[in-house]
C-alpha cells in the first residue's frame, strides 16, 4: 500500500508536466499579409513552406493583398495583425495618425526596375506616357515617382501614374499596351525582359537608402494579440522574428 501511495504522488506531477508541455507546444494562429507575387515576399513563403513558422509554434495564415496600401490598411484595422510591408506604406500610415512599427527589417535596398515599352528608350520618349503602379502610396508608386524625378520627369505632369494592381496586373497592362511602363521587381523583371520590354532605369543603381520589405504590426498589437507581448521565454514576437 505504501509503495502504491508513493507511485500515485509521482503520477500527478508527471501528468501535470505533460499537460503543461502540451499546452505550451500548441501553435498560435497568426494572419500574415503580403502584397505581391514577387521575390520580395518570398521570406513569408519560405518560412511557411519549410516549416520555420511551425517549428516556432506559429500557424501562419498567409493573406494576399493586391498592393501595399491595402495590406497596411488591413493591418491598422486589425484584420491582419502582421504584414510584410515596405517603407512608404508604413510611413504614410504613421503620418496619418496610425502607429505601425517594424519588428524585423528584411530587404533594405531597392530591387525595382522602371521598365517601358520596347520603343521607349529615353526619358524624352516617355513624356506624355503612363506608368502603372499597384496603389497610390505604395512601394511601386514611390519607386516610380522617384525614378521619374531622377530621369528629369515630373510625375503627374510629364507622365501620368495609374493604379492597375499588383505585379501580374501591371505586367498584363504592359503586354496589352494600356500603359507605357511600370516599376517591377524580380522575377517579373526578367520575364519582362524576355518579352522585349526595356529597362529605362535600374532603381537600385540610383543609390537611395531605403527600407523595402520588413515585418510590421501596429503599435497596439498587444491589445489585439496579448500573447504577442507576453513575458514568457517565447512570446509570439520572438518566435515570429527569430
103 and 8 in a common domain: yes
Mean pLDDT, the chain, as a whole number?
78
Q: How confident is the model at residue 79 (pLDDT cuts 50, 70, 90)?
A: confident
> Using an 8 Å Cβ cutoff, are 150 and 80 in contact?
no
78 and 35 in a common domain: yes
> What tens digit of pLDDT does each residue of 99-142 get?
777 666 666 667 889 999 999 999 999 999 999 998 898 888 98
The whole-number pLDDT of residue 179 equals 98
177 and 120 in a common domain: yes
47 and 24 in a common domain: yes
Separation of alpha carbons 8 and 204, rounded Å: 68
Residue 199: pLDDT above 70?
yes
126 and 217 in a common domain: no
Overall number of domains in the chain: 2
Q: What is the CATH number of the domain that holds 135?
A: 3.40.190.10
Q: Which residue has the cell 501511495?
A: 5
The whole-number pLDDT of residue 107 equals 67
The whole-number pLDDT of residue 18 equals 43
Residue 208: pLDDT above 80?
no
36 and 22 in a common domain: yes
The whole-number pLDDT of residue 1 equals 46
Please give the model's pTM, rounded to 2 decimal places.
0.59
Separation of alpha carbons 141 and 128, rounded Å: 18
Q: What angle do CA 3, 8, 11 make, to 5 degrees?
A: 125
The whole-number pLDDT of residue 181 equals 98
The whole-number pLDDT of residue 11 equals 40
Q: How confident is the model at residue 237 (pLDDT cuts 50, 70, 90)?
A: low
165 and 121 in a common domain: yes
101 and 14 in a common domain: yes
6 and 76 in a common domain: yes
Q: Which residue has the cell 521619374?
A: 148
Q: Which domain holds residue 226?
A: 2-107+212-241
99 and 6 in a common domain: yes
221 and 101 in a common domain: yes
The whole-number pLDDT of residue 190 equals 93
81 and 30 in a common domain: yes
> Using an 8 Å Cβ cutoff, are 173 and 192 in contact?
no
Residue 170 or 109, more confident = 170
Amino acid at each position: 500500500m505504501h509503495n502504491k501511495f508513493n507511485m500515485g504522488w509521482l503520477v500527478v506531477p508527471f501528468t501535470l508536466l505533460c499537460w503543461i508541455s502540451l499546452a505550451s507546444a500548441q501553435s498560435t494562429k497568426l494572419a500574415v499579409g503580403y502584397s505581391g507575387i514577387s521575390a520580395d515576399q518570398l521570406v513569408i513563403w519560405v518560412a511557411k513552406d519549410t516549416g520555420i513558422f511551425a517549428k516556432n509554434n506559429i500557424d501562419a495564415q498567409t493573406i494576399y493583398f493586391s498592393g501595399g496600401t491595402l495590406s497596411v490598411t488591413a493591418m491598422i484595422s486589425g484584420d491582419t495583425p502582421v504584414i510584410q510591408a515596405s517603407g512608404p506604406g508604413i510611413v504614410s500610415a504613421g503620418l496619418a495618425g496610425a502607429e505601425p512599427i517594424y519588428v524585423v527589417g528584411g530587404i533594405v535596398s531597392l530591387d525595382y526596375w522602371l521598365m517601358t515599352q520596347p520603343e521607349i528608350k529615353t526619358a524624352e520618349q516617355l513624356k506624355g506616357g503612363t506608368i502603372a503602379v499597384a496603389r497610390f502610396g505604395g512601394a511601386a508608386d514611390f519607386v516610380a515617382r522617384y525614378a521619374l524625378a531622377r530621369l528629369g520627369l515630373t510625375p503627374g505632369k510629364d507622365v501620368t501614374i495609374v493604379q492597375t494592381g499588383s505585379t501580374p496586373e501591371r505586367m498584363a497592362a504592359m503586354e496589352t499596351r494600356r500603359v507605357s511602363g511600370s516599376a517591377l521587381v524580380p522575377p517579373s523583371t526578367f520575364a519582362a525582359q524576355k518579352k522585349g520590354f526595356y529597362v529605362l532605369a535600374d532603381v537600385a543603381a540610383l543609390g537611395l537608402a531605403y527600407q523595402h520589405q520588413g515585418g510590421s504590426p501596429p503599435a497596439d498589437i498587444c491589445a489585439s494579440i496579448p500573447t504577442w507581448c507576453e513575458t514568457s521565454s517565447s512570446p509570439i514576437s520572438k518566435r515570429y522574428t527569430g
